[in-house]
C-alpha cells in the first residue's frame, strides 16, 4: 500500500508483501493498530519505522469516515461502480488534488475471507456479493436458465471471480480499432496501457510486459502438478508450450501456458487494493459503499445529476464535469434505460419517456461459455492451488480461423454443470479440463423488466444459438478428452468420470447440458461508429453530454480471454482521456 512517507522501511520479497497486506487490512478496519505494530515488529521493524505506516492506514479510515459524514452536493466527477474500470478511473482522477471525485458502489466491503482467499472465489456466487442475475430459459441450453453472476461488492468482479489475468489477442484490438476508428484502441496502443499498469513477475519480455505498475501479475505460483502435466500433454500433442500466457501467444495461434494471476503473497489483489486504497487517504476521493444509483438526470441533453439511495436517504448529487458509468455490462445499460436512454420503442412500451434514442443499448450481449463436464477422478488427490486453475491451452477449433477460439482450462475440482452432475457418477476428488468458447458468434439482449430500479433486467444471452458455437465446443470436448486421457496425465487419473466416448446427437446434447459461463458479460453498450453504437472512441455516450462509459459493456466484441484485464485497461484509457493524456 502506497503512503505519504518517503522513509518507508526497505524490506525484501515476502516480508515486503506481508507488510503491505497488513497495512491494507488496517486501513480497511480489519486489523487494530496494536496488532499491526506487533506484526510489523515480528518482521524486524522498529516502532519508529512502523508507526508512520500505521498512521497512514489509520488516516484512510478516518478520512473516509469524515468525507462520508459531510457529503457534497456537487463533485467534479462521479464514478458509478468500483470494479476493474471504476477503481482505476477514480484513483487516477483523484491524483489531481484540485479535483473532487465521488465513487459509488452498491455492494459492501471487500473484506471477506472468500474475497481475500483466491481459492474460495466461487463461494461468493449466489451471496450478497453477487447481483444473482439469471437468464431467461435458453433454447441453446435445452431450456435451461443460466446464472449470470456479477460482483456486488467493492471491486466488483475483481473481488468475486477467479484471479485470471488475460489481456486479449492482437486480433481483438484490431477489430476494436476498426470499429472505433481510433488507433489508440488497436493492439499497439492498448499494449502500452497494459505495460504501464502491470508489475509483471514472470519471464522478462520488455516488448510486451510492464514492471513497476500498480498491479502485481505473476505466472501461476507453485502450480498444481496435474495442471502442469496438461502442458506436457499439450506439447506431446503438437501444441507449443509458451513461457507466458500473455506474451507471443496472444499475437499468434495455438499454445499452452501457465495462467497469469493477480495474486500476491497468496492473497487476491483486486482493483481496490491495487489502485483505490492507496488514494483513499486523500481529502478529494470519497468512496461510498451501499450506494444504489437509481437513475441519471439530464438537462438539455447533458447528464448532470445522479439520483441514488444511501443509508436510508434519497440523494441527488451533481457532477460538474463528467459522470462515468462503470457498472458492468448488465447494470450499465439497465441504468441508461431507467434514465430514458435507449431504444425508444422499448422504453415507450414500459411507459417511460425517451430522452435519447439509442437503439444499441442492451443489444450485442456476449459471454464466454465454460463447459462443465470433462472430468477425471484423481488417482491421489492434490490440494487446490492459487484460484483453482493454473494452466490452459489456447487453440483453434478449425484450422482456417484467424484467431484461437478455444480455451481449455485445467480446473482442480470435478467441475460440472448441474445437469452433468446429476447424470454422471462424479468423484469427490477430481479434476477437469473445461473447454471455454472465447469467440462466440451468438449474441443476445438485455431489457428492463419494469421501471422499478430494484427489478433485475430480462437477460436473453442466446447461448449456443449459432451452430458454429456448438461445433467449436464439440471439438473442445474431443481435444480435452484426448489430452486428459493421454500418457502425460495418466498418473493423475484413476478414471475418466465424464463424458466418456460420445458421438453425434449425444455429444451435441452433452455440450448443451454441460455449458456454464465464465461470468464475462460484455458488449451491451458497444463502442463504434454505426447506428447501433452506444459510445464513440472517447467513450462518450452518443447524444448525451457529460456522460461516459468504461467497462466491459463498451467492447465491440468480447476479448479472447477473461475480461477483467481488458476492463482495467478500458478504465485507464478513459482516465487518460479525461486528464488530457490520451
Collapsed DSSP state (helix, strand, coil) of residue 473 = helix
Angle at 187 between CA 186 and CA 192, to 5 degrees: 105
* Contact partners, residue 579, CB within 8 Å, separation at least 6: 92, 93, 96
Task: Name the residue among 376, 500, 482, 389 with its Cα closest to residue 428.
Answer: 376
Task: Name the residue among 33, 14, 165, 157 with its Cα closest to residue 83.
Answer: 157
Residue 380, φ and ψ in degrees, nearest 5: -130, 115
Residue 92 is given by DSSP the state H
* Contact partners, residue 34, CB within 8 Å, separation at least 6: none
Q: Give catalytic residue positions.
A: 520
Per residue in 220-244, is it b (16+ CB within 10 Å) or e — as a string? beebbebbbbbbbbbeeeebeebeb
Collapsed DSSP state (helix, strand, coil) of residue 223 = coil
* Contact partners, residue 170, CB within 8 Å, separation at least 6: 187, 250, 251
Residue 118 is given by DSSP the state G
* Contact partners, residue 346, CB within 8 Å, separation at least 6: 337, 362, 447, 448
User: The C-alpha cell of 362 is what?
Assistant: 442492451
User: The C-alpha cell of 192 is what?
Assistant: 502500452
Per residue in 140-149, is it b (16+ CB within 10 Å) or e — as a string? bbeebebebb
Residue 183 is given by DSSP the state G
Question: Position of cell 462518450?
Answer: 540
Distance between CA 12 and CA 2 in Å, rounded? 16
Distance between CA 442 and CA 373 in Å, rounded? 21
**How many angstroms separate the Cα of 410 from the Cα of each of 259, 415, 486, 512, 532?**
10, 10, 14, 20, 38
Radius of gyration of the chain (CA): 23
Distance between CA 560 and CA 6 in Å, rounded? 41
Residue 133, φ and ψ in degrees, nearest 5: -70, 150
Distance between CA 153 and CA 465 in Å, rounded? 32
User: The C-alpha cell of 85 is what?
Assistant: 474500470
Distance between CA 533 and CA 19 in Å, rounded? 46
**For residue 438, how many other CB atoms are within 10 A of its CB?**
24
Amino acid at each position: 500500500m502506497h503512503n505519504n512517507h518517503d522513509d518507508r522501511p526497505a524490506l525484501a520479497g515476502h516480508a515486503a508483501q506481508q507488510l503491505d497486506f497488513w497495512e491494507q487490512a488496517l486501513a480497511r478496519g480489519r486489523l487494530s493498530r496494536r496488532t499491526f505494530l506487533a506484526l510489523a515488529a515480528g518482521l524486524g521493524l522498529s516502532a519508529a519505522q512502523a508507526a508512520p505506516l500505521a498512521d497512514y492506514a489509520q488516516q484512510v479510515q478516518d478520512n473516509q469516515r469524515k468525507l462520508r459524514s459531510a457529503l457534497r452536493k456537487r463533485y467534479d466527477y462521479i464514478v458509478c461502480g468500483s470494479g476493474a474500470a471504476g477503481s482505476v478511473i477514480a484513483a487516477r482522477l483523484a491524483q489531481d488534488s484540485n479535483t473532487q471525485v465521488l465513487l459509488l458502489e452498491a455492494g459492501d466491503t471487500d473484506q471477506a475471507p472468500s474475497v481475500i482467499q483466491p481459492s474460495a472465489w466461487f463461494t461468493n456466487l449466489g451471496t450478497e456479493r453477487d447481483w444473482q442475475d439469471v437468464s431467461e430459459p435458453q433454447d441453446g441450453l435445452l431450456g435451461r436458465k443460466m446464472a449470470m453472476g456479477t460482483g456486488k461488492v467493492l471491486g466488483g468482479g475483481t473481488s468475486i471471480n477467479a484471479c485470471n489475468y488475460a489481456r486479449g489477442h492482437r486480433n481483438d484490438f484490431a477489430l476494436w480499432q476498426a470499429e472505433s476508428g481510433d488507433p489508440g484502441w488497436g493492439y499497439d496502443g492498448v499494449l502500452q496501457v497494459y505495460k504501464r499498469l502491470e508489475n509483471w513477475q514472470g519471464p522478462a519480455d520488455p516488448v510486451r510486459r510492464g514492471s513497476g505498475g500498480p498491479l502485481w501479475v505473476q505466472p501461476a505460483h507453485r502450480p498444481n502438478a496435474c495442471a502442469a502435466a496438461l502442458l506436457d500433454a499439450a506439447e506431446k500433442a503438437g501444441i507449443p508450450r509458451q513461457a507466458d500466457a500473455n506474451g507471443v501467444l496472444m499475437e499468434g495461434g495455438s499454445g499452452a501456458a501457465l495462467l497469469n494471476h493477480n495474486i500476491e503473497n497468496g492473497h487476491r489483489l483486486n482493483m481496490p487494493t491495487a489502485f483505490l486504497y492507496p488514494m483513499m487517504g486523500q481529502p478529494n476521493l470519497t468512496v461510498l459503499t451501499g450506494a444504489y444509483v437509481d437513475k441519471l438526470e439530464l438537462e438539455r441533453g447533458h447528464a448532470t445529476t445522479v439520483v441514488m439511495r444511501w443509508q436510508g436517504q434519497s440523494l441527488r448529487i451533481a457532477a460538474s464535469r463528467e459522470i462515468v458509468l462503470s457498472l458492468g455490462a448488465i447494470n450499465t445499460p439497465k441504468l441508461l434505460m431507467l434514465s430514458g436512454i435507449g431504444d425508444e420503442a422499448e422504453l415507450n412500451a414500459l411507459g417511460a419517456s425517451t430522452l435519447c434514442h439509442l437503439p444499441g443499448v442492451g443489444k450485442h450481449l456476449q459471454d464466454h461459455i465454460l463447459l462443465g463436464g470433462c472430468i477425471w477422478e484423481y488417482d491421489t488427490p492434490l490440494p487446490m492451488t492459487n484460484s483453482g486453475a493454473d494452466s490452459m491451452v489456447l487453440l483453434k477449433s478449425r484450422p482456417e480461423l484467424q484467431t484461437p477460439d478455444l480455451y481449455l482450462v485445467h480446473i482442480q475440482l470435478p467441475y460440472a454443470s448441474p445437469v452433468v452432475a446429476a447424470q454422471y457418477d462424479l468423484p469427490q476428488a477430481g479434476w477437469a479440463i473445461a473447454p471455454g468458447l472465447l469467440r462466440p458468434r451468438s449474441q443476445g439482449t438485455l431489457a428492463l423488466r419494469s421501471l422499478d430500479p430494484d427489478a433485475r433486467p430480462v437477460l436473453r444471452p442466446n447461448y449456443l444459438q449459432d451452430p458454429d458455437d456448438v461445433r467449436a465446443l464439440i471439438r473442445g470436448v474431443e481435444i480435452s478428452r484426448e489430452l486428459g486421457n493421454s500418457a502425460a496425465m495418466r498418473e493423475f487419473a484413476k478414471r475418466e468420470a465424464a463424458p466418456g466416448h460420445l458421438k453425434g446427437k449425444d455429444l451435441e446434447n452433452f455440450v448443451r447440458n454441460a455449458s456454464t459461463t465464465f461470468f464475462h458479460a460484455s458488449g451491451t453498450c458497444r463502442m463504434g461508429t454505426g447506428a447501433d453504437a452506444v459510445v464513440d472512441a472517447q467513450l462518450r455516450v452518443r447524444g448525451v453530454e457529460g456522460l461516459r462509459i468504461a467497462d466491459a459493456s463498451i467492447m465491440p466484441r468480447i476479448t479472447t480471454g477473461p475480461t477483467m484485464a481488458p476492463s482495467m485497461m478500458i478504465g485507464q484509457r478513459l482516465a487518460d482521456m479525461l486528464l488530457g493524456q490520451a
